[in-house]
Amino acid sequence: MKSDKPEDTDSSNTRMSYQDVAMHKVMLQDVVRTEAYEKSIGQVVKPGQRVLDFGCGTGILAMFAARAGAARVIAVDRSPFIATARAIARENGFGNIDFYHDDHHSLQLDEKVDVIVSEWMGHCLFYEAMLEPLLAIRDRYLADGGAMIPAAVSLHAGLVCDEDLLEDLSFLRNRPYGLDFSPIAHVPFAQTDLVTLDPDGIMRNTAHLGSLDMHTIGKADTPRVFTGRIKPEKKARIFALCGWFSAQLSQGITLGTGPADLPTHWDQILFPLPEPFSVEPSRELTISLSPLTEEVGKAQCWHWSITDGEKTLSVNEQQQRLPAGLDLPPGKL
């Protein structure tokens, strides 16, 4: 299991943000992601159409659209990196791409478009906080009968039964170096983490927590809690939940980010449980995941729970705080 915290997308922190070439390189090296988008754009975009790439980054999706024959491509990004994207496009001879340093509030266009493409999904969908801005752009600028890429996205969850995970989470509880870390030993059990899980580390049966149709979903329709059911295939102890998403980019072209899928830069999100949870085939489980923070530039927090109808474990990440007194101004204590 590899652990790596999601990147900071705050514009004040350029290291590993979307102003940093290293982050764009990571995404461009994600061949599964990039080739799936290229194939979908080639399938959907017809010669002469107008295409909007929202959150364009390096502009690679905009260039795919231009290469597919779009008459006009509009590339939009709120990051100053868009000046670099424009330079990349010009270097490759794409003179029909217009670049806008705007967000969903400030963008002003004089026509609607036939296709909106966006790689808006963060880890477990919601880390980028881009869904609501994308829907605002769709409602203003997508022509009647226009296409969205992705066309739909879905959220999934699994049950983590890997004993090595419990050992890792318990590190601070086990008095490392002969010292007592009890003031913070509980924190790893109440914080999400970005991980790459081995398929053997989760139980075979998983839960579908819900889907979003990107053509019809409205801001008010976005679920605040995603819930699904799992019937465990065997008796086991569960130490965490894990979450991931899948996307239908267009007809017949899908992208998965789960433990059993080809690896992508999204990996999976780990949702630890405060204590082991025993499961067995005779007790169906209800799993819930709820994103609590959806604001650009802010860290995402989650609420998650598991219940078999008799026992329930629940964690609200937003409520987890270090002990009182640790947030103090400089000076001797």
Residues designated as active site: 119, 128
3-class secondary structure, 270: strand
3-state SS, residue 284: coil
What are 149's two structure tokens?
Answer: 């890429």
For residue 83 the two structure tokens come to 């000046």
Torsion on CA atoms 230, 233, 239, 241, rounded to nearest 10: -30
Burial of 62 (C-beta count, 10 Å sphere; 0-12/13-18/19+)? buried
Buried/exposed code over 296-325 (b: 16+ C-beta within 10 A; e: otherwise) = eeeebbbbbbbbbeeeebebebeeeeeeee
Which regions of 71-192 does DSSP assign to beta strands (E)?
A: 72-77, 97-101, 113-117, 142-149, 152-160
152 and 172 Cβ atoms separated by less than 8 Å: no
Query: In the beta sheet, which residues pair with residue 313?
Result: 306
* SS3 at position 53: strand
**Residue partners of 306: CB distance under 8 A and separation at least 6:** 238, 241, 273, 277, 285, 286, 287, 288, 312, 313, 314
Q: Which two tokens stand for residue 68?
A: 């597919």
Cβ neighbours, 10 Å, residue 144: 5
Q: Which residues contact 146 (CB under 8 A, 6 or more apart)?
A: 112, 113, 114, 115, 116
Residue 235 tokens, joined:
């008796």
